[in-house]
A and B are shown apart, each in its own frame.
Chain A
Amino acid sequence: MKTLEYTFDTTIEFSGNVREHAFVLRCLPRAGEGVTVLKSSLEMEPELRLSWQHDSFGNELAVGCAREPHDRIGYHSRGVVRVDLSSNRAMLIHPLFKYPSPLTIIDDDMRAWMAEAGFNKEAFTASTVARFEAFERLGKMIHEMMAYEPGTTSIATTAAEAFAARRGVCQDFAHIMVAVLREAGVPARYVSGLVVGEGTTHAWAQAYVDGRWHGYDPTRNTRVDETYLPLAIGRDWSDCPVERGSFWGLVDQTQTVFMTMKEVDA
């Protein structure tokens, strides 16, 4: 069990004024599956009224609209959570996580690679030990096969495209892992969130094994432990954007993201 304190700041700057800027934010920790939210706040800049909702996957949403002209919008998420994976109880899943989603569609090259590496249905239906072994081996192989190269892929890159290029960022690594798991008959989720340290948001994959979700981080080649905090969970990145907005104005935008998370005494 760990108690974590986080800060998560995002600023979007526009090259000119925009208005009627409607947005949906997924920048708050989700309670459940081992996470208890002890403290959580969200400050908007400029100050705006927000509505709080949950989406279909149970993610926390902050919904709002900045109508007046502005060339900058910021949101600052702060909080303290307790992560205790031993309290992660068995749960039923939605079958959506069994089937390919827009960004996790698989192709023949990936299938051939899976066959060669032995990631078939049998590998994931054998004994519990063997299943976890296959799960970790998959994450490790993706880690070793892929080059981490920011700027080579975009938010629209599919698992198959990143796989063909053998490079990408954490989002692509996670998409490939999710795609392979589903193809092998294992329900899988994409997770975006924070990891103890400093920098930007991270992404990893989860597999549904023995009634529980288990995470693996193919980018850092490690099992997901209590230093990871999910902010949004979905079929792939498109269900989990930290911010989705729509505004009037023909402008360029630059997004700056900075997060910190550290373990604190309970």
Chain B
Amino acid sequence: MQDLVAHTARINDQLARYGVKFGIYKDGTFNERLFPFDAIARVIDAKDWALLEQGLAQRVRALNAFLADIYGPREIIQDGIVPEDFAISSPGYLAPCVGIMPPKGIYSHISGIDLVQARDGSWYVLEDNLRIPSGASYPLISRDICRRCSPETFRNNDIVDNRNYGAMLREVMDNVNRGGINVIFTPGRYNAAYFEHSYLAEQAGAILAEAGDLYVEDERVYYKSFEGDQRVGAIYRRVSDEYMDPTCFLPESVIGIPNLMSAYRAGNVALLNAPGNGAADDKGIYYFVPRMVEYYLDEKPLLHNAPTYLPMFDDDLAYVMDHFEDLVIKDTAEAGGYGVVFAGTLPSEAREDLRDKVRTNPRRWIAQEIIDFCELPVHLAEGDVPRKADLRAFVLTGRETRVWPSGLTRYSREEGNAIVNSSQGGGFKDTWILKS
């Protein structure tokens, strides 16, 4: 590892050359910046990983079952496990998806589950991302560069190879492909994750396409190419639901594929992930995921949620009001680390203001205990410093649900700051899974 860390500057230089960038919207303007890489990898031993692997696959299986249920028979609601208004009036629950069964019944093919490790070593899930979780390309390409800068590091340590992500992605697409080529559909080069879209297309052997390259005819999707138009059987789309089809969702969208939903409805194309998945990764629905594991799989959940309270329940609201200063308050309408507030750090006026908002509109908020999650060393010129870090694990559902033996470790830029989202200006690390 020391040898690798010595190459930090060179690795970051290589990443910059590759254009490993992350775009951020702040105050209405779009800025692209390099995503800083820290060469000290997060290391997870085989025993820890075995638990994570099982727990993550279990969680994603339950989430897929939940999506199939709420867009179909809604048994979990009838059985009183998830409140009806909570599931159905969630902004992520899309009426046009009701009654559509996606190919092989899979809704979330590529899931990004965010975890943190507490100081006692136990892992907690903070968030499920079942729409368009990004970030797999960063550890992939950084590992590749590290391997070249310091081959000994990877010869002398027993690290599980993570270069199979492209192959896993391909298997996931092939599994649901309805006949034709695999396509990665990007909103275009001004998107925050465009680098990743092009990189993954290359890794998975898929065609990178944007609006105008694809069209729908007779309930089938085609790709326009110089060798003649080709049928498309699976689309790993990196465009959000509301922009996917102007004849079904937002009519003003110019980055979608008109009439795409007619091909999807007819079962002639797979969409990865399925539209409507926002119904299951709502910050509020998160509360119910451990119950989903028990309900659908009849298994005990192997991974824990951070202790969470839903102010919409009277008991929870009372607790939240009594312990307001000790909790993290999250706005379910926001994403990417926005709308996350540590109530104890607010000036008293702002805190009372937020307290009122939670009381008057309880459905919109969740509250969580602060988990004192562990810090990882980050290498700076003046020496190593500790920074809070999380882990985004990538769980892929093809013929089976499998966890990619790596992941994106993100750390916060400032000391003590516990918000690590890349849109908030942190950096990333490689994640090594050890063979023993």
Within 8 A of B (CB), among A78-100: 94-96, 98-100
Contact between A51 and B95 (Cβ–Cβ < 8 Å)?
Answer: no
Query: When each residue 321-358 of chain B gets 1 if its CB lies under 8 Å from chain A and 0 otherwise, what string results?
Result: 00000000000000000000000000000000000000
CA distance A57 to B217 in the complex (A): 23
- Which one of A16-24, A190-198, A252-260 contacts B? A16-24
CA distance A39 to B85 in the complex (A): 40
Q: Quick check: is B97 within 8 A (CB to CB) of the other chain?
A: yes
How large, as a class, is the contact surface on chain B?
20 to 34
Query: When each residue 251-287 of chain B gets 1 if its CB lies under 8 Å from chain A and 0 otherwise, what string results?
Result: 1000000110010011000000000000000000000
B interface, CB within 8 angstroms of A: 74, 77, 84-85, 88-89, 95-100, 215-219, 246-248, 251, 258-259, 262, 265-266
Name the contact of B88 in the complex, choosing from A65, A99, A244 (C-beta under 8 A). Answer: A99
- Say whether, besides A22-B216, A22-B247, A56-B98, A63 and B262 are in contact (CB < 8 Å): yes
Q: Could you show 8 A-B contacts with beta carbons less than 8 Å apart? A: A53-B265, A56-B95, A56-B100, A61-B262, A65-B216, A96-B88, A99-B85, A245-B247
CA distance A207 to B84 in the complex (A): 19
| Residue from the set B74, B247, B248 with the largest chain A CB neighbour count within 10 Å | B247
Find the A residue at minimum CB distance from B84: A95
Q: List chain A residues, Cβ under 8 A from B215.
A: 20, 65
B363 to chain A, nearest CB (A): 11
CA distance A77 to B95 in the complex (A): 26
Find the A residue at minimum CB distance from B100: A56
Q: Quick check: is A246 within 8 A (CB to CB) of the other chain?
A: yes
How large, as a class, is the contact surface on chain A?
20 to 34
- Say whether, besides A22-B216, A65-B216, A65-B258, A96 and B95 are in contact (CB < 8 Å): yes
Contact between B258 and A22 (Cβ–Cβ < 8 Å)?
Answer: yes
B244 to chain A, nearest CB (A): 12
Q: List chain B residues, Cβ under 8 A from A51.
A: 218-219, 262, 266
Query: When each residue 113-131 of chain A gets 1 if its CB lies under 8 Å from chain B and 0 otherwise, what string results?
Result: 0000000000000000000
Contact between A246 and B84 (Cβ–Cβ < 8 Å)?
Answer: no
Contact between A24 and B85 (Cβ–Cβ < 8 Å)?
Answer: no
Q: List chain B residues, Cβ under 8 A from A239.
A: 95
Q: Quick check: is A235 within 8 A (CB to CB) of the other chain?
A: yes
Q: List chain B residues, Cβ under 8 A from A144.
A: none
Contact between B98 and A246 (Cβ–Cβ < 8 Å)?
Answer: no
Contact between B258 and A99 (Cβ–Cβ < 8 Å)?
Answer: no
Contact between B97 and A22 (Cβ–Cβ < 8 Å)?
Answer: no
Q: List chain B residues, Cβ under 8 A from A96.
A: 88, 95, 98
